[in-house]
Amino acid sequence: MLVKILGTVAFSLLLAGTATAQDKSIIVQSTTSTANSGLYDHILPLFEQKTGIRVNVVAVGTGQAIRNARNCDGDLLLVHAKSAEEAFVAEGFGTARTDLMYNDFILVGPEADPASIDGMDEAAAALARISESEALFASRGDDSGTHKKEVALWTRAGIDPTKASGTWYRETGSGMGATLNAAIGMGAYAMTDRATWISFANKQDYAIRVEGDSDLFNQYGVIPVNPKKCPNVNAEAALTFADWLMSDEGQGAIASHEVGGQQLFFPNAPQE
């Protein structure tokens, strides 16, 4: 667990100059998928009842969440773009990054499947086929974790879709739910995390077209904000929450969150 990983001495240093023990609330800068899928509604009452610490979630794209935390507008990060998370820690804004849970990304599209990608097992190849056919594709275009993964897959396919921005490639600049609604409204393909898709109510004739590629793996990490960079951070309460998330109780709570009988996230925090 994170408190033990950091060690007693480091933990004591982190608490110096931070919020007092009487401050029983924290701000978590979070990706939208964890909020939109109902995960926090499921797990936060358990944590708050156990500790008395109130968790206030700011749900934005991963890029924005990291920028907010870098501006000291948060006590803890829970996002899904590992390289950006590691950079955040390397720059001294986070104390440590730890794996928390995972699921996967999927490509969804209409029943007509104009690019004929249904059943393909390589996401980059499916995107290349979408580009070749100039079938509509709706991108979040917002520097979120999902958008970062999409960009990486386009790069793997050797394609810069932004050259077609406004034609077959449509950037919404909005969250996952809004992007899915836009995609369905225009008959476009989209990439989404599975948890958001399972929870999404407006599927109409859309279905998963591409899944199962190892490149679609979606890892979430948790990072306490460093009080040496942000003296206002409530480090004690943030570490308490991080520690609980990685405990048997927290990991069990994550695993038990289901929608329609389907598990949305799979805990994989390192255990002793």
Selected residue with higher pLDDT from 17 and 70: 70
Question: Rounded to two decimals, what is the model's pTM?
Answer: 0.87
CA dist 159 and 125 (Å) reads 11
| Domain around 131 | 104-216
Mean pLDDT value across residues 121-134: 98
In this predicted structure, what is the pLDDT of residue 20? 45
In this predicted structure, what is the pLDDT of residue 271? 81
One domain, residues 67 and 166: no
What element of type H or E holds 84?
helix 82-90
Mean pLDDT value across residues 9-34: 65
One domain, residues 96 and 139: no
One domain, residues 64 and 83: yes
Query: Is 27 a domain residue?
Result: yes
One domain, residues 126 and 34: no
Mean pLDDT value across residues 146-158: 97
Domain count, the chain: 2
Residues 6 or more apart whose CB falls under 8 angstroms from that of 233 comprise 18, 19, 72, 74, 75, 224, 225, 226, 227
One domain, residues 37 and 23: yes
| Boundary (domain end) residue, out of 194, 216, 238 | 216
pLDDT 10s digits, 40-90: 999 999 999 999 999 999 999 999 999 999 999 999 999 999 999 999 999
Query: Is 77 a domain residue?
Result: yes
Token digits of residue 59: 């749900």
One domain, residues 210 and 117: yes
pLDDT band for position 36 (cuts 50, 70, 90):
confident
Pick the range with the lowest mean pLDDT from 5-14, 69-78, 116-125. 5-14
In this predicted structure, what is the pLDDT of residue 14? 45
One domain, residues 90 and 135: no
Query: Is 272 a domain residue?
Result: no
Residues 6 or more apart whose CB falls under 8 angstroms from that of 185 comprise none
One domain, residues 122 and 33: no
One domain, residues 208 and 237: no
Mean pLDDT value across residues 112-128: 98
pLDDT 10s digits, 241-271: 999 999 999 999 999 999 999 999 999 999 8
Query: Is 123 a domain residue?
Result: yes
Mean pLDDT value across residues 86-104: 98
Please state, as a whole number, how many other Cβ atoms lie within 10 Å of the Cβ of residue 243.
19
Report percent pLDDT > 70 for the chain.
91
In this predicted structure, what is the pLDDT of residue 2? 52
Q: Do residues 237 and 25 touch, judged by C-beta distance below 8 A?
A: yes
Residues 6 or more apart whose CB falls under 8 angstroms from that of 203 comprise 184, 197
Q: What is the CATH number of the domain that holds 239?
A: 3.40.190.10
CA dist 125 and 116 (Å) reads 11
Query: Is 112 a domain residue?
Result: yes
Nearest to 266 by CA among 252, 108, 60, 145: 252
Q: In the predicted model, what is the mean pLDDT of the chain?
A: 92
One domain, residues 182 and 138: yes
One domain, residues 121 and 194: yes
pLDDT 10s digits, 193-243: 999 999 999 999 999 999 999 999 999 999 999 999 999 999 999 999 999
One domain, residues 202 and 237: no
- In order of 83, 121, 137, the CA distances from 111 in angstroms are 35, 18, 15
CA dist 39 and 80 (Å) reads 15
